[in-house]
């Protein structure tokens, strides 16, 4: 995962912990974790709720997606910000 590789390169290593049915890469020095959320809004929502149910002390959660096949002009690594969800 590019984010975890970049953090590792700057001295912020992670350890993988199992949370329910999901693996979470925990970056303890920065007090956050990274988990793969699944394909599509529904699957991402289900897996996020699963994590939040098991980690009740989490106060902020970000759902980041790939915006796959959004348009021909969007390339890997582009940041796409949605203003609404269907």
Token pair of 35, please?
């988990």
Whole-number Å distance between alpha carbons of 84 and 6: 30
For CA atoms 38, 25, 62, 10, the dihedral sign is negative
Indicate whether this model's pTM tops 0.85. Answer: no
Whole-number Å distance between alpha carbons of 24 and 31: 12
When pLDDT is cut at 50, 70 and 90, the band that residue 85 belongs to is: low
- Does the pLDDT at position 5 exceed 70? yes
- Kindly state the average pLDDT of the residues 62-80: 71
């Amino acid at each position: 995962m590019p984010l975890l590789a970049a953090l590792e390169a700057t001295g912020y290593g992670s350890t993988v912990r199992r949370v329910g049915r999901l693996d979470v890469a925990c970056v303890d020095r920065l007090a956050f974790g990274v988990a793969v959320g699944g394909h599509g809004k529904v699957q991402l929502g289900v897996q996020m709720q699963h994590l939040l149910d098991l980690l009740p002390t989490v106060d902020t959660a970000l759902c980041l997606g790939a915006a796959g096949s959004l348009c021909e002009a969007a390339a890997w690594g582009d940041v796409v910000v949605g203003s609404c969800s269907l």
